[in-house]
Chains A and B, each alone.
Chain A
Amino acid sequence: MSTGSWRNWLTRLRGEGRPRADLEIDDEVAFHLEMETKKYLGQGYDSDEAERRARIDFGAIQGHKEACRDERQGNQLDMLMQDVRYALRTLAKNWGFATAAILTLALGIGANTAIFSVIYGVLMRPLPYQNGARLVLLQPETTRGVAQTSIPELYDYREQVEALDELVEYHTMFFILLGRDEPERVQTGVVSDNFFDTLGVSPLHGRTFVEGEDALDSDAVLVLSHDYWQRAFGGDPEIVGQVFEMNTRPHTVVGVLPPIPQFPNAVDVYMPTSACPFRANAERNMAGNRGAFRNLLVFGRLAEASTPASADAEIASVAGRFRSDFPDDYAEVDYQAGVVDLKGELTKNARPMLLMLLATAGLVLLIACANVANLSLARVMRRDQEIAVRAALGASRGRLIRQLLTESTVLALLGGAFGLVFAYVGLDMLVDFAARYTPRAPQISIDGWVLAFTVAVSFGTGLAFGTLPALPGTRDLGSTMKHGGRTTAGGGLKLRRSLIVLQVALSFVMLVGAGLSLRSLSALQAVDPGFDTEQVLTARISVDFTAYNGMGEIHDVLQELSRVVGESPVVRDAALTDNPPYRGNNPNFREFIIDGRAVEETASPPQFDRTVITPGYFATLGVPVLAGRSFDHTDRGGSTPVAIINESLARQYWSEESPVGARISFDGETWISVVGVVGDTRLYGPQTPVMPELYQPFGQAGMPTWLVARTVGDPSAAVRAVKDAAHSLGSNAISDIQPLATLRADAVASPRLTASLLGVFALLALVVTLTGIAGVMAFAISQRTREMGLRLALGAQPRGILTMVVRQGMVQVTLGLALGIVGAVGFGRVLSGLLFEINSSDPLTFAVVVVTLASAALVAIIVPARRAVAVDPATALRSD
């Protein structure tokens, strides 16, 4: 389109002036009339008569102009604009209907837009690494589960696998970074020098690592993650070149990363493998040890022309060669390896949850569509006469359908616009939610693709709910004209009743989904953790290993730290543990033997989870000592080895006698006396069952680096005091300081969010459905006012009529419920993986939802039905 005709089009859009083409037709017609008049003048008529004849010959000028306009090219657009204007006028006149419809649609479309933006950002958007699509993750497996790769294995893979042109390593460590206000624990990614080049990540400032920087004894350098740079240095671009001390060496910052998702964990800084003392030592001393530093996660980039499948096959065959070349190293573990697609690995935790949410949001939209279709049907039926008149005046059937579809599309687009606002408002909550499942969450936003999705969904929605009412609306116009619109409009009503059945069924499914997740959530929250979560602070102590000589000194400093914190006036008790509650670690099972009991060959040996603690632990957490004693300061390295077990472990292996005084051993040489029994605790969150637990005192085992402190008042108020106490003892970092209550709430945060999302969606569905039912009932009754009047006049009891109307309404509700039960059983199965201690076909939930939905529907039916019997028969009979 040229600029001129665009302007022309815009002019028309604004409804100002008249298009040039129209003016041209005027000129053309004027010329024709002039010529015609001239002709008649030539035949001897006077000028008035000649003009009159010319006009008669020409016919209805305006009609011809319209016809010309219809033939012209821009005409489709014209008609569309005309339809849109007409639609807007009609909607403005029926603002009640329009508001209800737009709001309903906005909720439906908004929910879908929000969920889609998450799905697009997490599952569909390409990885923000340049080579994102070509990246794979090496996945070794042994009989013990998913394993990691050792240094010699990595070197062998690098040498032997041709399908991958780069193989880079990654592992995380924490180190203490000195040079800022406080010693700081920094989570560190230790990587190959070509790690970022392989991923295809360019630095935001400075540079990433260069070749040779991972060679042993090269200078230590750091690259900061975007998040840490913002958090610790306020995004200062001058950071490049600054030097900090870590592991008693200077480390120079050489670059800053852009904001990218970090897999598998977000870390603060990255260093080349040469800068990690543990990794470097392992490399120096590995001497033929195949398992040297089996800590590495290996990323690979597919070589040109190779596929994930070919890389997988090659890795598998090299792994097979390891088994045959080094039978001693791999004899017992059945080592296997392959590759998985990195993008799939980044998002696999989020996928089922997101798809479930999308399905739910889709149901909401379906219900919204059904409802708006219902509302429009009612309007179309009321507009039968208007439509019949327009048809009689020459509007074609196609034109009328198009008009109705334009109306529904305009509604849907307006709904989509508002839906976008809703989606935008709710997005932050969803991003937090997604962050619990995938590192890609920060990439979620409402961008062009999401907008395109919203527009497409809006159009689809408009067509979906517009087609239904359009069909009966243009059918059988003759009879409508004849009856003066007084027919009972049977066909449309039948359609509307089927829509009600559908809505009730879908709402039922969603209410059951929400009910199940709510029941599951309350079951989770009701779980007794076995320890106090109020007024307890937990924190991670990061000892600067390189600053002390030997384990003895480290033990002393940890003990001292716990003592200093315990003496603070805001702290009642303090203790150390290696297994802090709710910190996402997993049970660590060990086998043991019981003194005096024969080990049966076939039976699996006793197993338990072990936690190493200091004496104040049980008092600090409020765990009751049920038998025997707690630890005290006489239980230390060198004294008689002692242990305390929990109730579950006691019940499992000492059901009849008291375990206090029994002796157990891991190796059959060192015997440990059980001195007490304590209450059960759920250290791993409410979802994990109570573990058989054995506690050992610090000094006789392990190294507890977590602090637990019972505070005098609000635990958050004690954070400063705990920090100061920790820092008074040299360059140790204290981090992750959090009240136990917060962590406990956090442990059920994702089920809580799931339940609230499902709950909100289900409530939406319920409200929308109820208004739909009430609307259909009110309409059906208004159509039958005369019939009701007649029945009343003939002596029917109002009660009887009320019962009849209600019974008719409840038929659809019952059908919907029946259909809904079938659907909900299916939906429950999808949900079952997310449920805690609740069966997916939990009869109580189903029963409550049936009763709730049925009674709410009954109210929605009775309210309009009462109006039906309140009519005065005389008025009703006279009504049209």
Chain B
Amino acid sequence: MTKANVDLLQGTLDMLILKTLQLEAQHGWGISQRIQQMSKDVLQVNQGSLYPALHRLQRQGLIGSEWGTSDNNRRAKFYSLTAKGRTQLVAEKANWERLSTAVTDILQTV
């Protein structure tokens, strides 16, 4: 696996995490479920990437965290978007759209 690939996948996961947190705060497990759900089970989130990604985003100041109580009354760590994270999400979304359009264009060229 080359470095470029890792970066791309990592970046994508980061964007998806930001997206799932756009509406409400969520814990790690919830995030993984959401991504799976929203992608109609196409994307399986590897836990080995998810938690490091959450710590990374937090270090970058894009998300914050706080211990709270889950739906079934369990103590869980909830992540939420920061203002910086919201801006970042908008930018990444635009970026992604440009990239995916470009890739699609290439693939559709006969």
Asked if A68 contacts B29 (CB within 8 A), the reply is no
Asked if B52 contacts A35 (CB within 8 A), the reply is no
Contact of A64 with B47 at beta-carbon distance under 8 Å, contacts A24-B77, A27-B77, A72-B59 already known: yes
Asked if A32 contacts B28 (CB within 8 A), the reply is yes
Which residues of chain A come closer than 8 Å to B27, judged between CB atoms?
Answer: 28, 31
A429 within 8 A of B: no
* A29 → chain B closest CB, angstroms: 7
Q: Which of A58-81 contact B (CB under 8 A)?
A: 58-60, 63-64, 67-68, 70-73
Across the interface, B55 reaches (CB within 8 A) one of A29, A31, A71, namely A71
Contact of A68 with B55 at beta-carbon distance under 8 Å, contacts A32-B29, A59-B46 already known: yes
Contact of A58 with B47 at beta-carbon distance under 8 Å, contacts A31-B77, A32-B28, A34-B74 already known: yes
Which residues of chain A come closer than 8 Å to B29, judged between CB atoms?
Answer: 31-32, 35-36
| Alpha-carbon gap, A29 to B32, bound state (A) | 13
A25 within 8 A of B: yes
A64: nearest chain-B partner, CB-CB: B48
Asked if A72 contacts B55 (CB within 8 A), the reply is yes
- Contact count A vs B, C-beta below 8 Å: 54
| Alpha-carbon gap, A834 to B29, bound state (A) | 80
| Alpha-carbon gap, A70 to B56, bound state (A) | 9
A325 within 8 A of B: no
Contact of A59 with B47 at beta-carbon distance under 8 Å, contacts A31-B74, A71-B56 already known: yes
Asked if B77 contacts A71 (CB within 8 A), the reply is no
Across the interface, A67 reaches (CB within 8 A) one of B52, B59, B70, namely B52
Asked if A64 contacts B77 (CB within 8 A), the reply is no
Which residues of chain B come closer than 8 Å to A29, judged between CB atoms?
Answer: 51
B40 within 8 A of A: no
Asked if A70 contacts B51 (CB within 8 A), the reply is no
* B75 → chain A closest CB, angstroms: 7
B76 within 8 A of A: yes
* Residue tally, chain B, CB below 8 Å to A: 19
Asked if B59 contacts A64 (CB within 8 A), the reply is no
A67: nearest chain-B partner, CB-CB: B52
| Alpha-carbon gap, A73 to B48, bound state (A) | 18
Across the interface, B48 reaches (CB within 8 A) one of A24, A35, A67, namely A67
Which residues of chain B come closer than 8 Å to A32, judged between CB atoms?
Answer: 28-29, 32, 47
Asked if A27 contacts B75 (CB within 8 A), the reply is yes
Asked if A73 contacts B51 (CB within 8 A), the reply is no
**What is the interface of chain A mostly: helix, strand, loop, or mixed?**
helix
* A69 → chain B closest CB, angstroms: 8
Which residues of chain A come closer than 8 Å to B74, judged between CB atoms?
Answer: 31, 34
Which residues of chain B come closer than 8 Å to A28, judged between CB atoms?
Answer: 27-28, 51, 76-77
Asked if A70 contacts B77 (CB within 8 A), the reply is no
Contact of A68 with B59 at beta-carbon distance under 8 Å, contacts A31-B76, A35-B29 already known: no
Which residues of chain A come closer than 8 Å to B55, judged between CB atoms?
Answer: 68, 71-72
Across the interface, A68 reaches (CB within 8 A) one of B32, B52, B70, B75, namely B52
Which residues of chain B come closer than 8 Å to A64, judged between CB atoms?
Answer: 47-48, 51-52
A57 within 8 A of B: yes
* B13 → chain A closest CB, angstroms: 13
- The winner among B28, B48, B55, B75 for most chain A CB atoms within 10 A is B55
Which residues of chain B come closer than 8 Å to A24, judged between CB atoms?
Answer: 77
Asked if A25 contacts B51 (CB within 8 A), the reply is yes
Which residues of chain A come closer than 8 Å to B47, judged between CB atoms?
Answer: 32, 57-59, 64
| Alpha-carbon gap, A672 to B48, bound state (A) | 111
| Alpha-carbon gap, A525 to B102, bound state (A) | 90
* A559 → chain B closest CB, angstroms: 93
Q: Which of A8-42 contact B (CB under 8 A)?
A: 24-25, 27-29, 31-32, 34-36
Across the interface, A59 reaches (CB within 8 A) one of B28, B48, B54, B77, namely B48
Q: Which of B20-36 contact A (CB under 8 A)?
A: 27-29, 32
| Alpha-carbon gap, A776 to B27, bound state (A) | 60
- The winner among A24, A34, A71, A73 for most chain B CB atoms within 10 A is A71
Which residues of chain B come closer than 8 Å to A60, judged between CB atoms?
Answer: 48
- The winner among B47, B70, B75, B76 for most chain A CB atoms within 10 A is B47
| Alpha-carbon gap, A27 to B59, bound state (A) | 19
* B25 → chain A closest CB, angstroms: 14
Which residues of chain B come closer than 8 Å to A57, judged between CB atoms?
Answer: 47
Across the interface, A63 reaches (CB within 8 A) one of B48, B54, B75, namely B48
| Alpha-carbon gap, A29 to B28, bound state (A) | 9
Contact of A67 with B51 at beta-carbon distance under 8 Å, contacts A31-B29, A32-B28, A59-B46 already known: yes
B53: nearest chain-A partner, CB-CB: A71
| Alpha-carbon gap, A156 to B29, bound state (A) | 92
Which residues of chain A come closer than 8 Å to B48, judged between CB atoms?
Answer: 58-60, 63-64, 67
Which residues of chain A come closer than 8 Å to B56, judged between CB atoms?
Answer: 71
Which residues of chain A come closer than 8 Å to B51, judged between CB atoms?
Answer: 25, 28-29, 64, 67-68
Q: Mark B54-68, 1 if CB is under 8 A from A, else 0.
A: 111001000000000
B45: nearest chain-A partner, CB-CB: A57
- The winner among B32, B51, B75 for most chain A CB atoms within 10 A is B51
* A52 → chain B closest CB, angstroms: 15
Which residues of chain A come closer than 8 Å to B77, judged between CB atoms?
Answer: 24, 27-28, 31
Q: Mark B70-88, 1 if CB is under 8 A from A, else 0.
A: 1000111100000000000
* B31 → chain A closest CB, angstroms: 10
- Nearest first, the 6 closest Cβ-Cβ pairs linking A and B are A71-B55, A67-B52, A35-B29, A71-B56, A32-B29, A58-B47
Given contacts A27-B77, A58-B48, A68-B54, 8 further A-B contacts (CB under 8 A): A28-B51, A29-B51, A32-B28, A35-B29, A58-B47, A70-B52, A71-B52, A72-B55
Can you show 11 pairs from A to B with CB atoms below 8 A apart? Answer: A28-B76, A29-B51, A31-B74, A60-B48, A64-B47, A64-B51, A67-B48, A68-B51, A68-B52, A70-B52, A71-B55
